[in-house]
Structure 1
Amino acid sequence: MRISVLALDGLFDTGLSCTLDAFGVANKISARAMGGTPRFEVSVVGVRRRVRSNHGFPIPVKAVTESKRKPDWVIVPALVTPSPDEVLASLERPDVTDAKAQLVEWRAKGVRVAASCIATFLVADAGLLDGREATTNWSLAPFFRQRYPAVSLDESRMLVPTDIGVTAGAAMGHLDLALWLIRTVSPELATLVSRYLLADIRSSQAAYIIPNHLAQADPLIKRFEQWSRENLKTGFSLQAAASALATSSRSLQRRCQEVLGKSPLAYFQDLRVEHAQSLIRSSGLDVETIAAEVGYGDGATLRALLRQRLGRGVRELRSDLL
């Protein structure tokens, strides 16, 4: 598999290094432990001849125009632009504009595109995600959803493959993406690499999402979050929430969908899960008591919700503390 890693000024140092390290380890294992030849031909390319990482380290790149063979995949590491204003500014940079055009050109030639974290904004801005599913850095999901309404975003997922490539979640999602690409070539090799690196492909980033952070993106949602926290034990009522917020049920539902990509009830349940996790990890309360604290009549319902949302049960959450 031929892979080009597209490096841009200000990229996330760890994102680039863990991507290159994962494929480097894969090639060494393939050549030594599995008795084969290296499976991945990886090059770092740029739309500029001089590229520096976010920490100021020079990154040796080959000019895109120097490559005589088109890659099978191009990977776009994230830029360090943690706020919507910074994302917008980066998308307007001349080098990023050239990179978007290069992605479109590559894609027209059949090259598949992979992007992690904030790099998904660059791919979306190039129009390559329109009409497709995607994931992104969960903390910027409301902004992504607002800017790219034609993209079906699910920030709870760590990896979302599509016909044009794959998108991955926040920060260390770069490593999940690299392991996923290795797995497409050899599941056995991917398993060995993950064991060497003490890393596994995660199916979800839901456990890392902070609902309070998402609520800050919109004044009405922020007030809905506050109301929800005050009523976790009482239970959810769309009509009661709308009345308390001086809005209509329809308006609250619409705004939640636009900002959060989910219903008011689904967000209310996110807050239940978050509070339940906190109690499980920080208190000696039994499951039935914790269930009552978040508005459920029995522990079985809470257990089912935790398993559905986090893929983990009460025992596994408590074992994290050991």
Structure 2
Amino acid sequence: MRNNRAMTLVPHRIAVLALDDVVGLDLGTPAQVFGCARTDDLTPLYTVETCTPGGRPVRSTAGFQVLPDHGLELLDQADTVIVPGLHGGPPMTDGTLDPEVVAALRAAHERGVRIMSICTGAFVLAAAGLLDGRPATTHWAYADRFRRLHPDVELDPEVLFLDTGAVLTSAGVAAGIDLCLHVIRSDHGSEVANRAARRCVVPPWRDGGQAQYIERPVPRAAAAGTAATREWARQRLHEPVALRDLAAHARMSVRTFTRHFRSETGLSPAQWLIQQRTEHARLLLETTDLTVDQIARHAGFGTTAAFRQHFHQRVGVAPTAYRRTFRRTPEAAAAR
């Protein structure tokens, strides 16, 4: 029998706003990913519902129509609003948006509702005036069009997603999954997000600053790649791992290894190691009683000062503050 705390848990309510020419995969991503975020006793942490202007059916780009359960009034009740990508319509062609939709999005934003876009959904947020003066991203293939239509937005088409607090944007397709997992991790910690990722059979974490897979010259096939070396390094995060060690494991020169590593991950080896160590430290803060000094050593940061600096830069809070928010004590675990 579930205890009273679990029974009274009120899930975070997400409204997905679908417009004509909505991308089918983007539309389904929030329900799939957030629907997998649950407590240990399988209590849902989110509900996901879909709405359209007037509650009318809208066309998708996948050859079917979407018949929603709600109209725009759903945005008045939501804690988070997500706009999936589009492949047509006024937001994409001339940067305009139905005034009724503009008013609903702005009202939600003014109430402090978290607003998110997947892929070209950023065109909708920009047309509503929610991205002016903000950093934002969208699918790299639409960057030039976006800049022409919305010159006041600080567009960065190189990254997977951007979290500016009240408004979050992501790049195309799988980056929408990354953004949803990032939000789950921010709301409920790494363990819940990792469990949701396993249910979705997707990588549990890709840093938002990682590069999109923009078309670039294909590296010569002679190199075997760096995947095995990355796995080797993950098993040794507690040890000092130098660039020359990574290159030696991959049987490449340092220069060749660095080039292939960046091509495959979008990051330098040093950036990637910090990313992996930070994520490992997050999990240790959530699930162990190790001190901050001990976690600094276990995660391979060397010194506590270096750990605190890198952790704050990437997560936005100090390790102790993060632990207070996400630490799973026996009492808390029993109550979930």
* Normalised TM-score (structure 2): 0.60
Q: Distance in 1 between matches of 2:55 and 2:178?
A: 28
Are 1:202 and 2:203 an aligned pair?
A: no
Determine if the alignment matches structure 1 residue 283 to structure 2 residue 283: no
- 2:26–2:176 CA contact under 8 A, matched in 1: yes
1:130 partner letter: D
Percent identity, aligned pairs only? 28
Matched, 1:56 2:64: yes
Q: What TM-score comes out, normalization by structure 1 length?
A: 0.62
Deviation at 1:207, TM superposition (A): 5.1
SS at match of 1:208: coil
Deviation at 1:39, TM superposition (A): 1.0
Change (3 A) 1:78 1:205: farther
CA 1:93/1:159 → structure 2, altered by over 3 Å: closer, same or farther? closer
Q: Please give the secondary structure, in 1, of the residue aligned with 2:16.
A: strand
Task: Report if aligned partners of 2:97, 2:128 keep a CA contact under 8 Å in 1.
Answer: no
- The question of 1:16 aligning with 2:27 is answered yes
Using the alignment, how far apart are the partners of 2:201 and 2:194 within structure 1?
10
Q: Which of residues 81, 84, 89 in structure 2 aligns to 1:74?
A: 81
Indicate the structure with greater helix content: 1
Q: Where does residue 117 of structure 1 map in the other structure?
A: 119
The letter for the 1-side match of 2:255 is T
Letter in 1 for 2:53: V
> Counterpart in 1 of 2:247?
none
2:48 matched to which residue of 1? Answer: 42
1:57, distance to aligned residue in structure 2 (A): 2.6
Return the alpha-carbon distance in structure 2 between the equivalents of residues 121 and 9 of structure 1: 13
Alignment-derived partner of residue 6 in structure 1:
17
SS of residue in 1 equivalent to 2:15: strand
Cα distance between partner residues in 1 of 2:93 and 2:31: 27
Task: Compute the displacement of 1:11 (Å).
Answer: 0.7
Q: Which runs of 5+ in 1 are unaligned?
A: 211-273, 288-297, 314-322
Q: For 1:36 and 1:208, locate their aligned partners in 2 and report how far apart those are by CA, in whole Å.
A: 35
Q: Distance in 1 between matches of 2:76 and 2:124?
A: 23
Shift of 1:74: 0.4
Question: What amino acid is aligned across from residue 49 of structure 1 in structure 2?
Answer: G
Asked if 1:311 corresponds to 2:267, the answer is yes
CA contact (8 A) 1:306 1:312 kept: no
Cα distance in structure 2, aligned partners of 1:15 and 1:39: 21
CA distance in 2, matches of 1:43, 1:286: 42
Q: CA deviation at 1:150?
A: 2.1
Q: CA deviation at 1:106?
A: 1.0
Give the SS at the match of 2:219: helix
